[in-house]
Structure 1
C-alpha cells in the first residue's frame, strides 16, 4: 500500500504489555489503553491524565524567581491606593492575561486599567511614549503581561520617569534583565522553574494565586469573600491553546478545567462570542483555537487593539453586545484580507519573486501591500503548506515587520533572539513555534541567509523524512459514537497531545463533492464492502484538498477500489444529530500500474483542464505537494508512458 501524498505510514510502536496492564487495572477498553501506552503514560499518571486536577498539578507560584518580590510590591501598592495599569500584548494571550488580572483585582475590590498598544502605530510590547503617557495620566505601577522581557530602553525610560514596572511574560529572554521591580518569566535563561511551556495567561494565573495566598495570610479576607480563582481558568485555557502551548502537565490541567468553566458560561464576554459563533455543543480545545480565538484576535489584527481584553473583562452587557458585534464583522473582514494576502504570497514564492522561493530551508515572503494584522495567520498557512519555518514580512518604507511560524523540532524564537543579538534586527522575540521581529529592509537578505545557514541542515533532516505514524488500524464496524465518547477522555488535544490518527481499513467511496465557500474542501461518504454487500457508512471530509492529489481519487466517479484512509475521528453535530466524521489526512491504495503517465485534473475547473505529467518530472516541493513518485494515485493517461 502506498500513500497518495508520498508518505510511508506505519503503526506507532507501543509496549503491548503496558497497554494490557492499563486495560486491566483501570477497566478501560483495549483501544484507549493502547493509545495511553503509545503516549507513554505511566501507571502512576493514568488517573490524572484522564481526569486532570489543578490541586495535583499546580506548583507553588513562589518557586518562580521574583514572584515574592512582585507580590509584596503589589500588596503595598494596593494598601497605598496606587493606580495600577495592565500593559498587554494585542493577541489572545495578551488579552486573556489582561482580562484575568483585571477580573482578579476587581474581585478583591481594586479597579485597574488596561492598556493595549496599537499593532500598526505602536507595534509589539512596551514603548517609551506609551509608558510616559501612562505616568503623566496618573499611573503609579504598570504590570506588563505577555511582553516586556526584552523591552530594555522603554523600561529604562519608565524608571527614570518614576514609573514602577513589574514584568509578567513567557517569551525567551537573555541573561540581562530589563529595569523593573520584578521580572516573572519561566523562560529567563537563569530561571529554574520547571514549567517552561506556560503562556502569559498561565503565568498571570500563578501571579494571582500568589497574591491571593498572601492576602489570605494577612487577614485580608476576614471581612470579605475570597474570590474563586478557578473561575478564571476559562481565560487561561483560551490563552494556552491560542498561543500553541504544549498541552501536557500543568497546561493540560489548566485547559481541561478551563473548558469546564467555559461550559458554565460565567464570563459574559465569552458567552457572547460563543452565541455569535452559534457554538451550541460542549466546548473543546478546537473551539478555543479555531472558533473563539480568531474572533478575539480580530480586534488586535485589523480593528481596535483593546477589543479582546475589553470583552473578556467587562460585566457591562451593552458594551459586550457592541464589541461582540464588531468582532464578528472584523473577523469576516480578516478572513477576506487573509485569503488575498495568502494568494499573493503563494504566487510570489512559486515565481521566486524578491529572491525567495519555496525550496529555501526557511521561507521568507515579503510585500509592501500586506496588512500587518494578518501576516501571522498567513505565516501559519504557508508553514502548513510547505512544511518549512516561515517569516511573512510586511514592508513599510525602510522597515519591515514580520510574523514567524515554525515546524516541530525548530526553535524559531531562539534563532530570532540570536539574530537580534547579532545586530540584524531592530527588535524581535518569541518562543519555539512562533515569533516576530522588525528589521531594516536592507538587512532582510542577510537575515534570510543567517536563518538558512543556522537552521538549514536541521530543517532538511526533518522535512526529508517521509515516515509518518498512525496510532491504530480500525475496521468501519468498530467506529461509532461510543468509541468517540471514550476517546474524548484523552482530551484536550493539541500540541504535545495530538488527536489520535487512525487507519480506516478497506472502505469504498460512495460519493464525494466539493464544499465550502471557496469550494476547496471535499466532503465524502464511505462504506465497507463485505461478502454480503455494503455495510455501514461514515462521513468524511478532506480540508483544503481540492487542488491536491487527494482530489484525483476522491472526485473521480470511476474510482471504486477499496481504500485505506488515514485521519482523525470526531463527532459532527448538526441539528441535534451526532454523527462520526473522519478528517482525511491521506489515502493508501494498492499499486496496480508499473510506470504510468498521469492526468492531473484541476478540480476547480470541473475536470475540464488536464495536465499530463510523467512521474520523473514530479520532483521538488510545490503548492500541490506532488511528491508521491511511484504511486497510482492519479488517473492513468490514455497515452502510453
Structure 2
C-alpha cells in the first residue's frame, strides 16, 4: 500500500508516514457495508477489498479453520493420544511460563477433564530452570506415572532434554510455534507450523492455536473409533476463550485464523463466564464484556506476572478452576504480583535509561544496559520500551554468577534473531537466539564487550523511526460516534493495530502533568471544537517537554481515539503517540 511522508521530524524525533488508500475502493466499501467513509478508508488502507471485507468484519471459524492433518506428525500424535485416552493413562504436560504456555496447558487440561483423563503439569521456574523442558521436569512427570508428555509452547530446540526423555522411555509430543532448526529433537511428534520441512498456512498461530488444532485431530480420531457414541465429546468451541487469551497475549498477528479464534473466543468468554477470567477482570478493575485490549493490557500482564516473579502454575490454576472463591483468591495474588512486577520493572528501567542516554549521546548503534541482581522477569519489558524510545536495538542483562543473562528487543528493520545467532556461531555467546524483534542471550562476563561490538557490527546508524498513520482528521471529526463506528474493525493486535490518526490544526490550550508521568492536554480546533488528549509516560521525554512548553500554539497530533467515560460524558479523547508543529 503506498504511503506518503506528512511530517519529516516530529517532537518525538519520528517521521510520520500516512497510508494512501484508493478513493474508489474506500467509497465502494463504505457504500456496500453501510459504514462511514473513514472506516472504508481504514479497510482499503489495510489491503481489504470488497471480496474480503465480509470475512474480515465477521470472521467465522468454519471459514478459516484448516485440516489439522496438514501439520506434520499431528495424525501420529492424535492416534497416540487417542490410545492414551482409551487406556485412561495419566498424561504429563510441560508448558512455558508465559500466557501462551499457560493458556495452552489450561486448554489441554480442560479437554482432558471432559474425556476423563488425569494430567500432571510441570512448568519451569524462570529463575532456576530457565526456558523450556529439562531432564528434571521429565523425571518428575515420569515419577508421577506419566509415560506420555506434551511439551507446549517450547521444545522445538530442546535436543538434550528430549534425548533424556527418550532414553527414560517417555513418549514426547512437542506442540510449538517457534522457529526451528533443520534438525529436530528426538520425539514421538514435533507439531510446529514453523518447522523447516513444513508448508503451512498457520505459521502465524500461537502455541495455543496449534494445541487447538491438535485437539481437533484427537477428537476426530476418537470419534472415528466410536469412542463418543454414548456422548461425552468435548465441545472445543466452548474453549475458544482460552485460545483467544493466549493468541492476543502472545502478540501474534491477528489475521486469518487468529482473528477468527479471537473474535469467537471473546464471544465465548461472555457465554461461558469462566470463573478465573471473571475474577481477574474484577481484580484488574475492568468492566465486561472481555475485549482484546483487556487481555493485552489487563489480564495478560497479570497472568505473566506469575511466571515472571513466582509460580506460573498459578495462572493455569486460575484458568481451569471451577471454584469462584478459589478464582478470586488466585486473581488477587496475581494482581499483587503484577504490582510488584511494575515496581521491579521501574527500578530496572530507571537504571537502564541512564546507561542508554549516555550511549545514545556517544553514537552507539546498539544499546546495552547491565546491572547486578536485575530480575530476569522484567528484562524483556524494559528492553522493549527502551528500543521504542531510542529507535535502535537494545540489550538488557543482569549478572548471574560468571555470566550476563539478558533479553534483546529491536525496532522494525533489524533482524535481531539473525544477529544473535551470528554471535553464537562465532563463540561470543553461550546461548543466543530469537525472532526478528525479540531474543535472549547468555554471555560470559569477560566477553560482554566483544559481544556488544559484534552486535553493533550488524547494525546501521539509527535512522528516524517511522510512525505509520491510517488517516487524517480535524478535531471536529473526532467524535464518540466515530469511535463507535470504527469499533467494527476490532479486535486489534499485531498485524492489525489500532488505527492511528493524524489530528491537524489543533490549538494547545492546556497542558499539565498528571500522575507524575503523564501529560494531560486540552485542545481546540479552528471550528471551536474542544477535544481532550493524554500522552502517557511522556514526562521528561522530548515529546512531553514539547507539549508542556507549547501551550497557546497550534500543533498536529498522532494518536488513537477512545471514548472518555469519566463523569458519564462519553466524549472522544486522543491517546497521543507523538506531536509536531502545524502546519
TM-score by length of 1: 0.85
Q: Is the 8 A contact 1:553 1:559 kept in 2?
A: no
Q: Is the 8 A contact 1:172 1:414 kept in 2?
A: no
Q: How does 1:510-529 map to 2 (within 5 A)?
A: 510-516=509-515, 519-529=516-526
Q: Distance in 2 between matches of 1:589 and 1:234?
A: 44
**Structure 1 residues 149, 8: closer, same or farther in 2, change over 3 A?**
closer
Distance 1:207 1:536, change over 3 A: same
Contact 2:254 2:495 in 1 (8 A): yes
Distance in structure 2 (CA, Å) of the matches to 1:357 and 1:66: 52
Gap change, CA 1:433 and 1:254, over 3 Å in 2: farther
| Whole-Å separation in 1 of the counterparts to 2:42 and 2:112 | 42
- In the other structure, the counterpart of 1:75 is 82
Q: Is residue 525–residue 539 contact of structure 1 (8 Å, CA) maintained in 2?
A: yes
2:553 maps to which of 549, 555, 561: 561
The separation in 1 between residues aligned to 2:22 and 2:494, in whole angstroms, is 23
Secondary structure of 1:337 counterpart = helix
Residues 263 and 424 (structure 1), Cα distance of their counterparts in 2 relative to 1, 3 Å cut: farther
Verify: 1:549 aligned to 2:542, yes or no. yes
Please report how far the alpha carbon of residue 82 of structure 1 lies from its aligned counterpart in structure 2 after TM superposition.
2.0
Aligned to 1:596: none
1:438-468 Cα deviation digits (max 9, x unpaired):
34333333333333333x14xx4xx414554
**CA pair 540-125 structure 1, distance change in 2 beyond 3 A:** same
Shift of 1:256: 1.8
| SS at 2:529 equivalent | strand
Give, in whole Å, the separation in 1 of the partners of 2:451 and 2:157: 20
User: Which residue of 562, 569, 574 corresponds with 1:570?
Assistant: 562
Segments of 5+ residues of structure 2 without an aligned counterpart are 1-6
Instruction: Describe how 1:110-149 pairs up with structure 2 within 5 A.
Output: 110-149=117-156
Write out aligned runs for 1:181-260 (5 A). 181-260=188-267
Using the TM superposition, name which of 9-18 and 204-213 deviates more.
Answer: 9-18
Q: Is the 8 A contact 1:252 1:492 kept in 2?
A: yes
Whether the 8 Å contact between 2:504 and 2:582 is mirrored in structure 1 is no
Note the alpha carbon deviations across 1:477-524, whole angstroms, 9 max, x for none: 2221221111111111122112212122222223222112xx111112
Structure 1 position 389, deviation (Å): 2.4
> Matched residue of 2:565: which SS?
strand
Q: 1:264 to 1:503 in 2, by over 3 A?
A: same
CA separation of 1:360 and 1:213: change in aligned 2, threshold 3 A: farther
| Structure 1 residue 37, shift from structure 2 partner | 0.8
Residue 19 (structure 1) aligns with? 26
The corresponding residue for 1:634 is none
Residue 71 of structure 1 deviates from its aligned partner by 0.7
Structure 1 residues 318 and 8: CA distance shift in structure 2, 3 A: closer
Distance 1:96 1:236 in 2: 7
Q: Matches of residues 289-304 of structure 1 in structure 2 within 5 Å?
A: 289-304=296-311
- Contact conserved, 1:511 with 1:524, CA < 8 A, in 2? yes
Partner SS, residue 545 of structure 1: coil
1:434 equivalenced with 2:431 (yes/no): no
What is the CA-CA distance between 1:397 and the residue it aligns to? 1.0
Aligned-pair CA distance for 1:254: 1.5
Aligned partner of 1:171 in structure 2 is 178
Match of 2:96 among 82, 89, 93: 89
Provide the rounded CA distance (Å) in 2 between the counterparts of 1:395 and 1:76.
Answer: 47
Q: Match of 2:273, SS?
A: coil
- TM-superposed CA distance for 1:140, in Å, is 1.0
TM-score, normalisation: structure 2: 0.93
CA–CA separation in structure 2 for the residues paired with 1:362 and 1:112: 45
Q: Does residue 494 of structure 1 match 2:493?
A: yes
Residue 472 of structure 1 corresponds to which residue in structure 2? 471
**Cα distance in 2, alignment partners of residues 315 and 436 from structure 1:** 37
CA RMSD of aligned residues (A): 2.2
Of 68-77 and 277-286, more deviation after overlay is shown by 277-286
Matching residue of 2:4: none
Report which of the two structures shows the higher radius of gyration computed on alpha carbons. 1
Shift of 1:49: 1.0
Structure 2 counterparts to residues 227-626 of structure 1, below 5 A: 227-264=234-271, 266-352=273-359, 359-454=363-458, 456-457=459-460, 460=461, 463-465=462-464, 467-516=466-515, 519-530=516-527, 535-556=528-549, 559-574=551-566, 577-590=569-582
Alignment partners' CA distance in 2, 1:432 and 1:234: 29
Give the match's secondary structure for 1:3.
coil
Structure 1 residues 590-615: Cα deviation after superposition (integer angstroms, max 9, x where no partner):
48xxxxxxxxxxxxxxxxxxxxxxxx
1:323-362 residue CA offsets vs partner (Å, 9 max, x unmatched): 212111111111111000011111223345xxx9884333
Asked if the contact 1:265–1:271 (Cα under 8 Å) also holds between the matched residues in 2, the reply is no
Contact 1:567 1:583 in 2 (8 A): yes
